[in-house]
Chains A and B, each alone.
Chain A
């Protein structure tokens, strides 16, 4: 198993390299001239040239890229044009906020969706099923930034129960987490329902019943444990949606995470921040994908065996 993880980490490297090359190249093309931003309006051409030379901006593309990649290893990805702060530090500083948001959203969604999914599956084709499915369908059809705005309208502006933005305490986390979490819940509910429907038709469920297992035991110990496999897979595949959703929620509620960071940096044309953040995001996504695969392996002993033997 350890060997499998190491192998995956190693395989990540060429993917990250290629990805960052693409991003670096694209941002380089659009980047805009930093010199204009840094120097005052009345700077002379010589002063601009001098600055460019000292910043190493006249070197050929691949040298600059190579230099940049080396920087990633040491944790130096340049400084922001706007805030003059270190890109890497800023990103790492904001990362926990996004992780808190994403984690809470995931928690909320799982608490809602798995019981709901099981309930609709067990009551298939009754009004309970229809109700659950209609709710889930709405949730999946809603753009989550709009959901955020509506939640803000109701809970913050009309009812004054919760703040409408910013950070500082748990009450600030509630609405953004609900925004991301409800959309995710809708998705997981549908997946849970279809996974459960699939599983309860299997022969081993009849075997469990024939042993005299109670209804509760059959559903949780036998059915759900098997249903978790496709559920984890589906959630894993949608994880980039969680990241996007977090970015949107952060924008709506001014939650200071990396999503808001990227959005603001784009509008301010802060190229090094955008480039660095996107590359770091990709690395983060790759690590989360790996984590999902490992969780998946623990759910399904057949996969675990595959990973352990192949190494």
Chain B
């Protein structure tokens, strides 16, 4: 029996969804598809991943990527070489496509690793508070004080200029930001009443975490993952550009740009295309990330 004096019954969006028989994931997916930018971004990323996977089969590393040919060096873009050739006569188009492997590997790998570590530490800090929280937060503050690039410098000095050390270095900063987000999300949810009622029902702690807390933290984390991959790809290429990341002759996009800097006057195409590849990739990721953010919380868009 409703007393109609106070408020008319406001139906929450969650109830509406339930009424329509869709889960949150399906709703989010549906909204994503409406966003043209996000769809373009997703399609591009799928294509890029396919290219990166197939590159190993289409091109032979030794003959196509690093072999030098003085005769065809410094050719401008043409039908034979869509992006032109570099100072060693290597086809830039092939190198750019192959280079996608490094960017995706380092970008996704560092975020995946950072996510695992960061989520774990952040959730523990947020959930238990006290000493663990203090420890994690102090460590985080220290990492925060050191700019990304300097951490990378230190780690790369220790481990050498390989993709792995770059991945490790970037994982650290990724872990730091995920820990922060996870901690904030967990702390906020922990205080909610439905958690108290879950305990009151007799659910053990681990079940409360698994069933109630983690699913509700996911939205900010999912958005951050997409955006973090993009910013880590930029970071990786920046570090390679400075000579603190992947080194030539590996066709990592940043390393390619570092190499081609000196030829900018005579062969500008060498500097244009690898950078363009970075821009387009990160753009696609940002479109996806923005689309995800809008889809997960449509109120923000309005």
A interface with B by C-beta (< 8 Å):
15-16, 18-19, 22-23, 26-27, 29-30, 137-138, 140-146, 149-150, 152-153, 157, 194, 240, 243-244, 247-248, 251-252, 262-263, 266-267, 274, 278, 281-282, 285-286, 289
Stretch at the interface among B15-23, B49-57, B230-238: B230-238
Q: A146-B257, A281-B150 are in contact. Are A137 and B287 (CB under 8 A)?
A: yes
Q: A18-B142, A19-B146 are in contact. Are A145 and B158 (CB under 8 A)?
A: no
Bound: A251/B238 CA distance, A: 11
A240 adjacent to B154 (CB under 8 Å): no
Collect the chain B residues with CB atoms within 8 Å of residue A152's CB. 264
Collect the chain B residues with CB atoms within 8 Å of residue A19's CB. 142, 145-146
A27 adjacent to B275 (CB under 8 Å): no
Q: Which of A137, A244, A266, A282 contacts B145 (CB 8 A)?
A: A282
Give chain B nearest CB distance to A22 CB in angstroms.
Answer: 8
Residues of B contacting A: mostly: helix
Q: Does B261 contact A (CB under 8 A)?
A: yes
Collect the chain B residues with CB atoms within 8 Å of residue A282's CB. 145-146, 150
A247 adjacent to B149 (CB under 8 Å): yes
Q: Does B182 contact A (CB under 8 A)?
A: no
Collect the chain A residues with CB atoms within 8 Å of residue B96's CB. none
B interface with A by C-beta (< 8 Å):
141-142, 145-150, 153-155, 157-158, 230, 234, 237-238, 241-244, 254, 257, 261, 264-265, 268, 271-272, 275, 278-280, 282-283, 285-287, 290, 300
Bound: A267/B290 CA distance, A: 38
Q: Which of A26, A137, A247, A286 contacts B286 (CB 8 A)?
A: A137
Instruction: Name the CB-closest residue of B to A12.
Output: B145
Bound: A212/B80 CA distance, A: 68
Bound: A149/B148 CA distance, A: 22
Q: A143-B254, A144-B238, A262-B150 are in contact. List 6 more A-B contacts (CB 8 A).
A: A22-B142, A22-B154, A141-B234, A146-B257, A149-B261, A244-B149
Give the one of A29, A141, A144, A263 with max B CB within 10 A.
A141
Bound: A37/B146 CA distance, A: 29
Instruction: Name the CB-closest residue of B to A18.
Output: B142
Instruction: Name the CB-closest residue of A to B280.
Output: A141
Pairs of residues from A and B, 4 with the lowest C-beta to C-beta distance, nearest first: A146-B275, A240-B147, A141-B282, A141-B283
Bound: A153/B265 CA distance, A: 8
Q: A150-B272, A262-B153 are in contact. Are A143 and B145 (CB under 8 A)?
A: no
Instruction: Name the CB-closest residue of A to B173.
Output: A240
Collect the chain B residues with CB atoms within 8 Å of residue A262's CB. 150, 153
A149 adjacent to B271 (CB under 8 Å): yes
Bound: A140/B290 CA distance, A: 12
Collect the chain A residues with CB atoms within 8 Å of residue B261's CB. 149, 252
Bound: A23/B158 CA distance, A: 11
Give chain A nearest CB distance to B238 CB in angstroms.
Answer: 6
Instruction: Name the CB-closest residue of B to A243.
Output: B147
Collect the chain B residues with CB atoms within 8 Å of residue A251's CB. 241-242
Q: Which of B141, B265, B279 contacts A142 (CB 8 A)?
A: B279
Collect the chain B residues with CB atoms within 8 Å of residue A140's CB. 282, 286
Give chain A nearest CB distance to B277 CB in angstroms.
Answer: 10
Collect the chain B residues with CB atoms within 8 Å of residue A267's CB. 243
Bound: A157/B264 CA distance, A: 9
Instruction: Name the CB-closest residue of A to B177.
Output: A237
Bound: A19/B275 CA distance, A: 34
Give chain B nearest CB distance to A134 CB in angstroms.
Answer: 9
Give chain A nearest CB distance to B234 CB in angstroms.
Answer: 5
Collect the chain B residues with CB atoms within 8 Å of residue A16's CB. 145
Bound: A145/B243 CA distance, A: 13
B238 adjacent to A143 (CB under 8 Å): yes
